[in-house]
Amino acid sequence: MKITKRQLRRIIKEALLLEEPADYYRDYRAGNITRAEYDQLVRDFENRSMSRGPSRLSPSPAAPRQKSQAMIDLETEPIWKGTKKELEKRVHQYLIDIGFYLPSSTGYVNPFSQGDHPDGGYTSNIPKVLRAGIASGDIDWATYPEMEPTYRKIDRSID
């Protein structure tokens, strides 16, 4: 049995008309979707319901989306003007200066040294430390996207 495009459109349209927030809640309770996805689906459903006409649901304004740290990082303009090697050395020196790592004999960080960095692994806290340095103004010479390859290099050196 073949289904025509018209029949498929009608089936999809009926499925959309029959769906309701209770369906999303069942998916959320089953663990198929996250809480954020559930909230977004409910908002989308309410918006669709509002566009079709009055409904028994109380309209709730859609919350403005907050920008994620990754989106903010992508929007920042590059600051570093030197070479990648110089930037890498500068990041290493910053991590040594704040006591996160101890210096190695090569002038770079010794990733196996336990400086004053918090628990949670040798490298797992580096992104937080670098972002905190940027936020506090200690690091005004580069953006996090520029420094991230250095973090990745330190992380790989431990593996």
3-class secondary-structure state, position 59: coil
Q: Tell which wins on pLDDT, 61 or 78.
A: 78
Q: Which of 31-35, 89-93, 119-123 has the lowest mean pLDDT?
A: 119-123
Q: Tell which wins on pLDDT, 28 or 123.
A: 28
| Residues 6-34, mean pLDDT to the nearest whole number | 75
Angle of helix 126-136 versus helix 84-97 axis, rounded to 10: 90
The model's confidence at residue 40, banded by pLDDT at 50, 70 and 90, is confident
Q: Which residues contact 65 (CB under 8 A, 6 or more apart)?
A: none
Closest C-alpha to 159, from 125, 123, 128: 123
Query: Do the Cβ atoms of 134 and 143 come closer than 8 Å?
Result: yes
What does the mean pLDDT of the chain come to? 76
Q: Which of 12-26, 65-79, 88-102 has the lowest mean pLDDT?
A: 65-79
Q: Residue 18 pLDDT > 70, yes or no? A: no
What are the Cα distances from residue 141, in Å, to 68, 69, 110? 22, 19, 23
Global pTM?
0.51
